[in-house]
Amino acid sequence: MRITIAVVVLLFAIAGALPVDDHMHNGDRVVTTENIEEAKWVFDPWNRRRRTARRPPPPTKPPTASHQPICDASLKPRKYEMKGPGCPIAKWFKDVPTSFGQWEKLLLDKFTGAWRKSGHTPSADENDHNYNTFLGQGNTLGFVAGTLEIDPSALDEEVSTGWFSKKRTYSKYKTGLFATNARYNAVGRFSDFGPDGSVQLGRLALKLAYDPSLPQFAGDAALPWAGEMNLLLTETLETFPLGGFDALAVFASDKSKGAAAKLLTLYQGAKSMLGSLVSVLSEFRWGDILGKTYFSQLPYRLVGTDGTEAAFRFRLRPLKVARDSGVGRKKEDVVKYVRKMFRSRDVAYALEVTINDDAAKRKTVETDVAQDWGKPWVRVGTLTLPAQMLNERGMAEALHRSLAKAVHPTDAASAALDKLFFFHPVMTSAMHRGIGEIQSFRAEFYSQHAAARFATYLDVPEFKPTTAHQQQPPYPKFPFCAIDAKAVGWAASPPKC
């Protein structure tokens, strides 16, 4: 039961009970949080400033903060302080621990230190999970185009919420993405989790194109990423193994946390695992990542028509799947299988949500995301990934051609486009922003880790433009409007193009 073993090892690694292989080799290349400012030039996604000069040398003294958050916000004790206009982080996540920045530094130092010791040459073929991080982008197993069709009518139907509870409907939560029947153009990246060797867990990151000026997305037009919604999912595991800030501190190796915090972390991880037991037992046998159920694990905001603040999780449940237990677990085997399947068939998933609007349990929802809510799942849409030809890296050929025309990469960057876009969970509608302690950390840390990636293994010299026409990665905002809708199987171009 490889998935079960992988999760147990992960839990012990989180609690500091087991060492983590950091691929120690000789080498002198290093990018750490002490000189992470050197990498700032690659991560300026919202105003697209370009710096063509040489990178500045590392500072002689460590910076007072290791932060380079989205929107150029800087962290202060217990709150975010806005430095520029239009930064929603300051409003969304106001209350964070004073050790927030320390956790970021500890995690980044693990990753960049392992990269330094490896002595490896930057390459898009590298898997960042080989370098002492559980929070990387992993290997691409498939990068495809698709369509999400929303049908929220089931929210009007009565459902049972417990053994002794009256049936109820969720009609008042037909808001935001679930306000009305609609179709959204999407792209999805399947990736793996864990070091090279075998695919232990599959992940799916989606980008949706939407019209931020619609009434159900009130206020979104002012967001720096307006028009793009990112949804992140992990297969099989229904909840997140870290409950909140205490577990996160242990995960980051914060030495101020003692045995009690480690035991709490192990307890929350075990609770999360037990809550996913049915999924683990039913799905661990299949190497077919297209036939797995994918879970958001973490809670997101949902606002009722009466102003009720609720939380929801979502999942993608496969439809009409002929599961294949004969798929190998090596990355190359999985990519080969994914390419084969998409050549001849559509892949479809039911989008389902589970909603928690119990005000008495709101604190638990935010501080213990390892907790299973025990609420019913309601289908609100269908994700369809049509048959399409994929290249050797698992990227849809038609999508690749459109992207290459849009971002004008060098030849080397063009070959690696599957790894050069960001799937930040904070880049979403304000109506569905992440909520809770783990989400607040993800909103900040993902930008840090992205900058570190492009200062380490994705700092490929051949990615640098040689002509004024070319653009240097990363490409933070997805160019939906430049995609050939007909070629990739979309019914129409994205809105507001």
Tens digit of pLDDT for each residue in 129-165?
A: 999 988 889 999 999 999 999 999 999 999 988 777 7
DSSP string, 214-256: SGGGTTGGGSTTTTEEEEEEEES--S-S--SHHHHHHHTT-TT
Tens digit of pLDDT for each residue in 384-415?
A: 999 999 999 999 999 999 999 999 999 999 99
- Both tokens of residue 442? 């993800």
Q: Is residue 252 part of a domain?
A: yes
- The amino acid present at 263, given as its one-letter code, is L
Q: What is the band of 111 on the pLDDT scale with cuts at 50, 70, 90?
A: very high
Q: Is residue 497 part of a domain?
A: no
Predicted local distance difference test score (pLDDT) of residue 325: 63
DSSP 204: E
Using CA atoms, how far residue 393 sits from 185, 300, 335, 338, 389, in Å, is 22, 32, 7, 10, 11
CATH number at residue 81: 2.40.180.10
Predicted local distance difference test score (pLDDT) of residue 200: 76
The SS3 of residue 433 is coil
Is there a contact between 494 and 479 (Cβ–Cβ < 8 Å)? no
Predicted local distance difference test score (pLDDT) of residue 298: 94
Predicted local distance difference test score (pLDDT) of residue 283: 62
Predicted local distance difference test score (pLDDT) of residue 262: 80
Tens digit of pLDDT for each residue in 7-24?
A: 544 444 444 433 333 333
Tens digit of pLDDT for each residue in 441-450?
A: 888 788 888 8
Predicted local distance difference test score (pLDDT) of residue 166: 84
Between 156 and 88, residue with greater pLDDT = 156
Q: Is residue 494 part of a domain?
A: no
Predicted local distance difference test score (pLDDT) of residue 25: 36
Strands (E), 300-374: 300-303, 309-319, 347-356
Q: What is the band of 496 on the pLDDT scale with cuts at 50, 70, 90?
A: low
Tens digit of pLDDT for each residue in 193-211?
A: 888 887 778 899 999 999 9
DSSP string, 39-102: GGGG--TTT-----SPPPPPPSS--S-----GGG-EEETTEEE--STT-THHHH-----TTHHH
Instruction: Identify the residue whose tokens are 């500072």.
Output: 59
Tens digit of pLDDT for each residue in 468-479?
A: 999 989 888 899
Domain span at residue 127 reads 2-488
Q: Is the pLDDT of residue 186 over 70?
A: yes
Is there a contact between 432 and 487 (Cβ–Cβ < 8 Å)? no
Q: What is the mean pLDDT of residues 280-285?
A: 61
Q: What is the band of 494 on the pLDDT scale with cuts at 50, 70, 90?
A: low
Q: Is the pLDDT of residue 490 over 60?
A: yes
Torsion of CA 424, 426, 428, 432, to 10 degrees: 140
Is there a contact between 90 and 67 (Cβ–Cβ < 8 Å)? no
Q: Is residue 496 part of a domain?
A: no
State the Cα–Cα distance between residues 117 and 29, nearest whole angstrom.
8
Q: What is the band of 185 on the pLDDT scale with cuts at 50, 70, 90?
A: very high
Q: What is the band of 221 on the pLDDT scale with cuts at 50, 70, 90?
A: confident
Q: What is the band of 4 on the pLDDT scale with cuts at 50, 70, 90?
A: very low
Predicted local distance difference test score (pLDDT) of residue 46: 35
Is there a contact between 321 and 291 (Cβ–Cβ < 8 Å)? yes
**With pLDDT > 90 as the criterion, what percentage of the chain qualifies?**
48
Q: What is the band of 233 on the pLDDT scale with cuts at 50, 70, 90?
A: very high
Q: Is the pLDDT of residue 82 over 90?
A: no
Tens digit of pLDDT for each residue in 417-446?
A: 999 998 988 889 999 999 999 998 888 788
Q: What is the band of 75 on the pLDDT scale with cuts at 50, 70, 90?
A: very low
Instruction: Identify the residue whose tokens are 């084969």.
Output: 340
What's the mean per-residue pLDDT of the chain?
A: 80
The SS3 of residue 181 is coil
- Both tokens of residue 153? 């009518």
Instruction: Identify the residue whose tokens are 């989400």.
Output: 439
Between 428 and 46, residue with greater pLDDT = 428
Q: Is residue 238 part of a domain?
A: yes
Tens digit of pLDDT for each residue in 304-344?
A: 999 999 999 999 999 976 666 667 778 898 999 999 999 99
Using CA atoms, how far residue 224 sits from 212, 436, 456, in Å, is 11, 22, 26
pTM, to two decimals: 0.83
State the Cα–Cα distance between residues 332 and 330, nearest whole angstrom.
5
Determine the length of the chain.
497
Predicted local distance difference test score (pLDDT) of residue 150: 97
Predicted local distance difference test score (pLDDT) of residue 90: 62
Q: Is residue 246 part of a domain?
A: yes
Q: What is the band of 47 on the pLDDT scale with cuts at 50, 70, 90?
A: very low
Q: Is residue 335 part of a domain?
A: yes
Q: Is the pLDDT of residue 52 over 50?
A: no
Of 122-131, 361-370, 407-416, least confident by mean pLDDT is: 361-370
Is there a contact between 462 and 410 (Cβ–Cβ < 8 Å)? yes
Q: Is residue 45 part of a domain?
A: yes
Q: Is the pLDDT of residue 367 over 70?
A: yes
Q: What is the mean pLDDT of residues 61-84?
A: 38
Domain count of the chain? 1
Is there a contact between 290 and 346 (Cβ–Cβ < 8 Å)? no
